[in-house]
Copies of this chain bind each other. A is one copy, B any other.
Amino acid sequence: MTLPQEFQDIAKRVNNWGRWGRDDEIGTLNLITDEVVRTAAAAVRSGRRVPLGLPLQQDGVQTGMIPGRVNPLHTMVAINLEIFGPGTVATNDDAVTMGLQAATHWDGLAHVSHGGRLYNGRPAGTVTAHGGAAFAGIEKIPSLVSRGVLLDVARARGEDRLEGTHAVGPEDLAAAEEMAGTRVRAGDIVLVRTGQIQHYLAGDKQAYAYPSPGLSLYAPEWFHERDVAAVADDTLTFEIFPPEVENLWMPVHALDLVEMGMLQGQNWNLEGLSEVCAEEGRYDFLLTATPEPFTGGTGAPVAPVAVL
């Protein structure tokens, strides 16, 4: 089976292989220049900070639908341990086991392949069990700080939360951009709000997981035209799920990660940010969202913060 022609055509148009050299492992993050960061810092006006990460806990967003992607198991290895004898300072120490893509995370560029290829044309076989991603592992990303723009699609449509069958396409993005009052620029990180995470926050993980609104097959080209550095949203699947085109599974993953070399973020809690942005009447900010640098990671947890 091969992916349909429509997909192939889009793929060709958004492809960034070789754009930053054949050995490049960070893709569109190259678009975050020092200048972009200076501008991003200048976007800070009130100094308010809005956290976008979910707490990491056993009662997380995973339902077992994605095999092996386990919610964080927090365990203790020391509790009030007086290592140096009775009456001395006592320590607490903990350990965790979790899926790297289980909670609020970035998909690394090596998270998916298609046709046997990763970003920049590297063989899918460079991902192995004894080292993870040898190419484009998440640790190759030194930092991720840029201007963030919230495209609050739900609010722009006057909805609390998009329907599970809603594919967020170029018109949605454009409408939200217009509401945002700022043009998305090269190096920006775009946060797309669907409101879907309300299901999880209300305790209904199943409803959160599936069916889910999310990015449309036609969204990547919009991001490509604006030269966005990365995109994150507030869903488990990132793109609409089940997909718009029958049997075309995960096309957005393939376009973003493989063709464009653009990081994707999932399970970002954009509810608070939506309130603050509406309140302050602006939708851009400094975004700090450096993934935890797991060597060979095909994804990583992140604790993103918007600074307004």
A74-B294, A290-B51 known; A85+B132 contact, CB < 8 A:
no
Q: Are A292 and B290 in contact (CB under 8 A)?
A: no
Q: Are A70 and B73 in contact (CB under 8 A)?
A: yes
| CB of A299 closer than 8 Å to a CB of B | yes
Stretch at the interface among A41-49, A211-219, A221-229: A41-49
| CB of A261 closer than 8 Å to a CB of B | no
A37-B47, A47-B34 known; A1+B86 contact, CB < 8 A:
yes
Q: Tell me the number of copies of this protein.
A: 4
Q: Which chain B positions have C-beta within 8 A of A111?
A: 91-93
| CB of A95 closer than 8 Å to a CB of B | yes
Residue of B nearest to A54 (CB): B293
Residue of B nearest to A303 (CB): B290
Q: Which chain B positions have C-beta within 8 A of A253?
A: 89, 91
CA distance A124 to B33 in the complex (A): 45
Q: Which chain B positions have C-beta within 8 A of A3?
A: 87-89
CA distance A80 to B76 in the complex (A): 13
CA distance A147 to B290 in the complex (A): 17
CB proximity of A93 to chain B, nearest CB, Å: 6
| CB of A265 closer than 8 Å to a CB of B | no
Q: Give the residues from 127 to 165 in chain A that come closer than 8 angstroms, CB to CB, to chain B.
A: 127-130, 132-133, 139, 142-145
Q: Which chain B positions have C-beta within 8 A of A304?
A: 290
Contact with B along A95-125 (1 / 0, CB 8 A): 1111111000000001111100000000011
Q: Are A77 and B129 in contact (CB under 8 A)?
A: yes
| CB of A220 closer than 8 Å to a CB of B | no
Contact with B along A271-308 (1 / 0, CB 8 A): 00000000000000010101111111111011111010
